[in-house]
Chains A and B, each alone.
Chain A
Amino acid sequence: MLIDRTHRPWAMASAAILALAVAAYIPYALGTRPGGGTIPGLAYGTVGFAFMAFVTLLALRKKFPIWRIGRTQTWMRGHLWLGALSLPLILLHAGFLFGHGLTAIMMWLFAVVYASGLFGAWLQHTMPRRLLREVPMETIYEQLAHVREQLLDEADNVVADACGKLEVTIAVPVAASPTGAEALATVMRPVGSDVDDTAPLREFYLKEMRPFVQAPNRPHPLGDPVTASGMFAKVRALVPASLEPAIVDLESICEEERQLRRQGRLHGLLHAWLIVHVPLSFALMVLAVAHIFMALRF
């Protein structure tokens, strides 16, 4: 979520709650040894846990998106700001002590959840703009593989139209493919009258470009736009000018593939932190409930 000036009311309210909590804490800490068992400590703990519980309920809220129980963005804002408040309140509850055993585990877990949450908020604040800027050809993430297949078909057709039917089945396996420079060396040979003058383009496509589009997880020189530009320049020098439109098409397909890779990377980054944040949050809540039960019971 973009944290912009529309968050000002939430930020101000959070700051006010925090200031109030700290203001109440100072005389309390000066008068007695702060701890979770005191009345003020229990009050801090109760409010802190209430915030944590609300924050955790966002996951449930998102499971039922059409329930008219408040706009999800309000829940999300609450998640961000009340979540941000929960750690200081729990610290005030604990008297800034991590304790031992279960409480220590909880505090460390809380720190990890909190840090991952902050990291996630930062990612959600910045990454959408990066995606917008760097991936103008963005598509639906789940459709990446399908779009890639279409690109491959399109590239096959472009090369087949320019160079004749492709023998794709006997293409050089990716593992055996030499690096870009070596590959080009193998196709760089004098163009004589007895040589098919479209061969360099075909060779380049089969040995370099096709594996690049086919294997998105494998690093490839064409993944870098500058290197790719140099490689295409070399191919251009080896083939007749009539193949220029085909080369331009292939370059644009490479650019699209680069954007698909970038989208995959950024999308992964944008959502991967949840793998840490969500399960640990639930674990924290389970431990918190256990902690409350034990504290009240014993």
Chain B
Amino acid sequence: MSDQVTLSIDGRDVTVPKGTTIFDAARLNGIPIPTLCHQQNQTPVGVCRVCVVDVGARVYAAACIRECEPGMKVKTDAPGVVQARNTLVEMLMADHPSPCARQQQSGDCELETMAKAGGVAEPRFARRLSPRGRDDSSLSIAVDHEACILCDRCIRGCDDVKKNMVIGRSGRGYTAHVGFDLDLPMGSSTCVSCGECMVSCPTGALTNKRVVDANLAGEKLDAEWILQLPVFKGVSGTFLELNQGAVVKRSIAPGEVICREGEFGSTAFYILEGTVEILINTPIAHVQQEDGAGSWFSRIRSKLSDRQQHTRTEESGRRYIPIDAPVDLPYDKPIAELAAGDLFGEMTCMSFHPRSATVRAKTDVVVLEMLRNVLDILQKNKTFRAELDRKYRQRALETHIKSVPVFSSMPADFIAYLRDRVELIRYSPGEVIVRQGDAADAFYLVRLGFVKVSERHPGGDVVLNYLGRGSYFGEMGLLGGGIRTATCTALDHVDVVRIAGGDFNLMLSRFPAIRAGLEQVARDRADMNRRRVASTEHVPITDFLNQGLMEAQSLLLLDLEKCTRCDQCVRACADAHDGVTRLVREGLRFDKYLVATSCRSCRDPLCMVGCPVGSIRRRNSMEIIIEDWCIGCGLCARNCPYGNLNLHPFTVQVPDPAQPARMIATTKKKATGCDLCMEHAEPSCVYACPHDAAHRVEPLTFFAGMLEAKDQKPTSGSTAGTSK
């Protein structure tokens, strides 16, 4: 029996090996057949049916899956075939947002190109009524389900080509869509951001998210060179090519500072060669009001007060300072060293937090500086994660555990026992780590990021605490009845150290002092939680949280019990800013306070994302400023979730189009926002308030005051109240 098949395609006799599809036979003989769901490197599935051809049978066949048969007469461009193909494209276009993201970015959306070529204008079919939505949870890939045509190319790219097995189909019929893992948001799934789905996608359903201003200072690197580094083993070259400039190499001389504490940044550093010192430069001391703002009475009082009164009891046992690096700094001498293979600046990069420490080159140093999309892909890379985790277990676990005052007496042999038994787990923003009512089976130490602790109550959840690096949770459930008493959720990108319940109990039985310490902490926390819940019954804290005020670093509050609505604050703001006020005496009310519409200097400044000319930026002193080259596109104002940035018209002189030599006046717009009057010790609005009603506050301190009205203690650190 012959292994060859001869057939006719559009009148041409062709001979191909047996088992060849009509699509491949046509392609091999230079006859193009349009398709959407089929790619050469993928197994054909024939779901789009755009490649239909007439094989003389009762119905048209999909060329990508129909094998050639001897004597078959195939017509690829018969009028009926073309009409059927155009109808299919028209139906797909009916649900397709045109132009989609890909068409807008590069003009090569395959569906839209095909529709244009086929003369498919406005589809005759009605658009679907229920939106399919977008998924922006991934830092590297934007998912627009609206633009998805369910061709399954991404699924085959992920499962067959890359063997990652993350993408699949979810839902049925009209609600069918591509899903990640068990239909999780892409950012929360096990997706490693290899980019294969993105390059496979024929439309704008999966597109690359470019980071704004990705041109970092430093030596630009080729994707090929980067892939040679062991740390990038397994990372997608496609992704690196698409994000050129998002990772650079920097050579630093000894003594040169790589980053400074308190600065805002958006990058992380990976040390390739050399050693750096990581340290806290600021003197460790409480600040008093001797020379600061405030009434002269308070300044005199500050002069006369005893400095010792500022020593807080909860700091007496603290021996390490948690920082955004794989090591903690000793409290007495806050300096440590990092060497080749260490990563620092993760929190700054992922969550735009200020730099926690100053990093200075000790020897000649070579580092990779990277933006968050590159860091994200590295963190999802199994090789890289394994290496980071190994180093953490070796070098940082001991100081991390000992940095928690209650564990400071734990002997080295037990830490060595724990070293290979603890699990290092990463959670995405919004992911629940433990849920109230579930069985308590582990104890957690926060290694990176912030965890929200909340308790379910009739009428809504009550937030009990926010825990940062160096804090812990899970002990109450283990010490109590074995049931979680609160829900702990990752607020941002969170890394935790999970100690299994068995090991935790072994630790308690071996070290009675640690058991006693933990039990005391659990009792204190339970008391504090009860008080907090009681106080929040009268305080609509949820409203405050829902408004995103936790994200703020500085809020302008007007005490409505004192404010006489004289508008001096608005007038002062206008006077300080060339007649254009940056605040509106209107906004959310919380308790007796009005949160005025004025820039909040958010921790995650969404306004900065997307500025086409990079004119909005954050200064090191935390305020957001808009440079004078703003082009007035209004993107920042649209991005600000709180309406705190505005566009203001102003008059400028421009050349007259009719007579270029002559200048004429025209109106332009520029964005404006509160700059906190940083040239002064106090913002003008606060300074000018005659009634002591206007205050610029740091909201975390403000929350602490509201929630702990009785004792007014700060909530930071591991001794702060929480419950699990």
Q: Which residues of A contact B (CB under 8 A)?
A: 1-2, 6, 9, 58, 62, 64-66, 68, 71-76, 124, 127-129, 131-132, 136, 139-141, 267, 270-271
Contact = CB atoms under 8 A, between A and B. Distances in A.
Given A58-B690, A72-B568, A72-B690, 8 more contacts: A62-B688, A66-B687, A68-B687, A72-B688, A73-B689, A73-B690, A74-B296, A76-B691
B691 A62 contact: no
A124 B565 contact: no
Contact of B575 (A66, A71, A74): A66
Contact of B691 (A2, A66, A68, A129): A2
Nearest to A13: B297
B564 A65 contact: no
27 contacts: A1-B562, A1-B691, A2-B692, A62-B568, A65-B575, A65-B684, A66-B575, A66-B684, A66-B687, A66-B688, A71-B682, A71-B687, A72-B690, A73-B690, A73-B692, A74-B295, A75-B690, A127-B564, A128-B560, A128-B562, A128-B564, A128-B565, A132-B561, A132-B592, A136-B589, A140-B585, A141-B565
> What are the nearest 5 A-B pairs in CB distance?
A65-B688, A65-B572, A76-B690, A1-B691, A132-B560
A139 B690 contact: no
B426 interface: no
Nearest to A130: B561
Contacts of B592: 132
B561 A71 contact: no
B669 interface: no
B636 to A, nearest CB: 24
Interface of A, secondary structure class, is: helix
Contacts of B688: 62, 65-66, 72
B489 to A, nearest CB: 31
A65 B561 contact: no
Interface in B560-601: 560-566, 568, 571-572, 575-576, 584-586, 589, 592
B163 interface: no
A147 B11 CA distance: 75
Contact of B295 (A71, A132, A139): A71
B510 interface: no
Contacts of A271: 564, 566
Interface in B260-303: 295-297
B133 to A, nearest CB: 29
A72 B569 CA distance: 11
Contact of B687 (A72, A76, A132, A136): A72
B576 A66 contact: yes
Contacts of A72: 568, 687-690
B564 A1 contact: yes
A131 B680 CA distance: 32
Contacts of A65: 568, 571-572, 575, 684, 687-688
B563 A128 contact: yes
Q: Which of B566, B575, B690, B692 has the largest count of A CB atoms less than 10 A from its CB?
A: B690
A71 B295 CA distance: 8
Contacts of B296: 74
Interface in B535-577: 560-566, 568, 571-572, 575-576
Contacts of B565: 128, 131, 141, 267, 270
A71 B438 CA distance: 55
B540 to A, nearest CB: 12
A66 B572 contact: yes
A136 B297 CA distance: 35
A72 B295 CA distance: 11
A95 B383 CA distance: 93
A212 B296 CA distance: 52
B625 to A, nearest CB: 18
Contacts of B687: 65-66, 68, 71-72
